[in-house]
Amino acid sequence: MIRKIAIILITISALVSCTKDFDKINVNPNSSPQVPLNYLLSQSLLYIGGSAGDPGYATWRANLIYALPTTQMFSSLSTFYAGDKYLYQADLSEAYFVTQYPNSVKGLVDIINQAKADPKNVNIQSIARILKVLQMSLITDLYGDVPYSEAGLGYLNLNYSPKYDAQKDIYADMLKELTEAGTALSAPATNPGIADFVYGGDVAKWKKFANSLMLRLAMRMQKVDAAGAQSWAKKALDGGVMTSNAETFSIKYANDGGTSTINSNSYNLGEADVPGHRNEVSKGSIQWSKRLIDLMKARNDPRISTIAILKSGDATAAAQKGLPSGLDAGTLTALTGETGPDNYSRPNPIMYYAKNPYILLPYAEVEFLKAEAIERGWYTGSAATEYAAGQAAAITQLSVNQGAPSLTGSVAAYQAANLYPATTLADKLLQIHTEMWVLNASTLNGFEGWANWRRTGLPVLTPTNYPGNATGGTIMRRLIYPVSEAGLNVNYKLAVAAQGADLFTTRMWWDK
């Protein structure tokens, strides 16, 4: 009897005591504890371009729905395209914020952290730092004060509610980062090579990009901190900026692995060769604005036939007609008698091929900013020369798009028709920033287009006043934070208290 009981008890304890292999059981066989940093860098680049994850989610909302229409580059009759009507829709306004932090920012923070352990990773670390500045500048220029110094550290520092840094501090640190990372880049050290979809591992180009981005950030501070802007602009230009379109910062796509390998603007706008596309152009949701088409026509801009086309397929410059901003179908009919968008210019398919590079900082912009810096007396040189170089670069830049005609032959005529004025600073700035405005529209770079317009106010745009708009009929100055942030981040309230009410109309630090 006792023996029987003992045997049973021993069997029971054998059943439960074997926990030795628990460590092995709890290892996830489907994901790796470590991967080469190059893989992470490539993925981060796709996230910055907005294509990885839900392709085009953030780009669609932040760039195509808000930035481009509010800056009167695009127009739409649909109230969903809230930008030219200054309508607030929470999920549209918050999209860029809620998408980029958990994707590109997290990835870049992780690369920077991992790379610092080994000096031979200096280039990938520096590239990640520069990219993080680019990504964070896009975020802060849309929203103002945002989490920066504590962002993306959920795992590394267990920080679940990052504080919101003042934009002033963010800019200071971004400029510092660009300086340090740009200096640290080392040609002899290993580089990410083909994993770098921007420059293919060309360290010299990355250095120039770091300085060019520094120039952009410096000039952004012009209204609020002229002295700082001056010294940083000089530093950037002294350090060496982009010198040709071959150095333009653009993310290259191959359309060879599903939707994340497609330009995200193309994904939203296009059809043709884009699988699962959103088809927004052919549905008639997006037109070029009257302001842009009228202006380009008046300036005999040769780019017009490359960027615009009518539904009928007519891309001739003379036939193009822009859609007035801030209308819906009803108000359009009342104003013009037109019953829909079909007779207005829409983006030409050249603008949205899947493999088009995603441009975030073109060489031409550097030339225009340099011209402004010279004009303000912050740098030496000929503003007119830089201006002309910018015009040429902006026009020829478009040839990177699939199927785009070469416009090299049209450059001289355009420059002749739009000479740099010899008059007042205001006139010169108007010319420079009108060129910038067209440049940003024609490269679908709404982020920079909107930011640069907010700093300069050029060209002058007439606000719309659509019923129910959230700005009282003034052009939006920022996007509104995610609704959920109020519940998730204890620092949200402090940010609103510091920056001002969480509205479209509140101006951020550099926009005061």
Partner 1 sequence: MLLMRNKLLFACLFAVLISTFSFAQDINVNGRVTDEKGAGIAGATVLVKATKKATVTNDNGDFTISARNGAVITVSYVGYLSRDYTVNGATLNASLVSQSKDLNEVVVTALGIKKEKKALGYAISEIKGDELTQARSVNIANSLVGKVAGLNVTSTATGPGGASRITIRGNASFKGNQPLIVIDGIPFDNTNQGNTVGTWGGSDQGDGMSSLNPDEIESVSVLKGGTAAALYGSRGSNGVILVTTKGGSKSSKMPLIEVGSNFVIEDILNKKLNDYQYEYGTGDKGTGLVGIKPTSADPNLNQTNSWGAKLDGSSVIQYDGVSRPYSAAKNNFKKFYDIGTTFTNSFAVSGGSDKIAYRFSMSDLNSKGIVPNNTLVRDNVAININASLSKRFTVLVNGKYIREKNKNRPRVSDSPGSANYTLWTLPTSLDVETLKASKYNADGSEKVWSNNQYVQNPYFATEDYKEEDTRDRFIGVVEPRFNITDWLYVKGRAGFDKYNRHETDITPTGTGYQLGGGYNTSLRDFRESNLDLMLGFDKKLTNSFSVNAVVGGNRMKQITLLDGYSGGPFNIPFFYDISNVSTPNRGTQSNYYEKRINSAYGTADISYKNLIFLNLTGRNDWFSTLAKGHNSLFYPSAGLSFILSDAFQMPSYVNYAKLRGSWAKTGGDTDPYQLLLTYSLTGATQTVPLAQVGTNQVPNSLLQPYENTSSEIGLEARMFNNRLNLDFAVYKRKTVNDIVGASISPTSGYNQALFNVGEINNKGVELLLGYKVGNSKNFGWEPSFNFGYNKSNVVKIYQDLKQLFIEEPRPRVSAIYQVVNAPFAQILGNGFKRDAKTGEVVFNAQGLPLTEGLKSFGSGISPWTMGFTNTFKYKQFGLSFLVDAKFGGYIYSGTNALALRYGLSKATLPGRETGVVGKGVTETGTPNTVVVAAQTYYSNMYNFAEPFVYSSDFVKFRQLIIDYTVPAGVLGKSFVKAATISIVGRNLWTILKYTPIIDPESGYSNTNAQGQEFAGLPVTRTIGVNLNLKF
Applying the rule CB under 8 A, the residues between 298 and 337 that interact with partner 1 are 328-331, 333-334
Choose between 80 and 381: whose C-beta lies nearer to partner 1.
80
* Rounded Cα–Cα distance for residues 119 and 39 (Å): 19
Q: Whose structure tokens read 């610092």?
A: 116
Give the closest residue to 353 by CA, choosing from 288, 409, 272, 289.
272
Instruction: Please pick, from the candidates 336, 339, 382, 462, the single residue that binds partner 1 as defined by CB under 8 A.
Output: 339
Count of residues interacting with partner 1 (CB under 8 A): 109
> With respect to partner 1, which residue has the nearer C-beta, 143 or 171?
143
By CB under 8 A, residue 506 contacts partner 1: no
Instruction: Tell me which residues in 450-469 interact with partner 1 (CB under 8 A).
Output: 467-469
* Using rule CB under 8 A, residue 23 touches partner 1: yes
- Three-class HEC string of 251-285: ECCCCCCCHHHCCHHHHHHCCCCCCCCCCCCCCCC
Give whichever of 211 and 260 is closer to partner 1, judged by the CB atom: 260
3-state DSSP of 135-185: HHHHHHHHHCCEECCCCCCCCCCCCCCCCEECHHHHHHHHHHHHHHHHHHC
Q: Single out the residue of 144, 147, 201, 459 in contact with partner 1 (rule: CB under 8 A).
A: 147
What gap in Å lies between CA 512 and CA 508, rounded to an integer? 6
Shorter beta-carbon distance to partner 1: residue 222 or 261: 261
Q: Give whichever of 119 and 340 is closer to partner 1, judged by the CB atom.
A: 340
Is 272 a binding residue for partner 1 by CB under 8 A? The answer is no
Do 293 and 308 touch, CB atoms closer than 8 A? Answer: yes
Contact positions with partner 1 (CB under 8 A) in 50-89: 52, 77-78, 80, 88-89
Of the pair 270, 390, the CB lying nearest partner 1 is at 270
How far is the C-alpha of 50 from the C-alpha of 38, rounded, in Å? 19
Report CA-CA distances (Å) from 458 to 279, 372, 431, 449: 31, 13, 9, 10
State the residue for tokens 């000479």: 419
Q: Is 28 in the site for partner 1 (CB under 8 A)?
A: yes
Which of the residues 158 through 217 are near partner 1 (CB under 8 A)?
A: 158-162, 194-195, 197
Which 278-297 positions form the footprint of partner 1 (CB under 8 A)?
278-279, 283-284
Q: Does 109 bind partner 1 (CB under 8 A)?
A: yes
Tell me if 489 contacts partner 1 by CB under 8 A.
yes
Cβ closest to partner 1, residue 184 vs residue 329: 329
Distances in whole angstroms, Cα of residue 477 to Cα of each of 108, 112, 293, 457, 506: 28, 32, 23, 11, 6
Instruction: Find the shortest distance in angstroms from Cβ 153 to partner 1.
Output: 7
Nearer to partner 1, 15 or 460 (CB): 15
Under the criterion CB under 8 A, does residue 472 sit at the interface with partner 1? Answer: yes
488 touches partner 1 by CB under 8 A: yes
Burial of 186 (0-12, 13-18, 19+ CB in 10 A): middle
Nearest approach, Cβ of 36 to partner 1 (angstroms)? 8
d(CA 223, CA 455) in angstroms, rounded, equals: 7
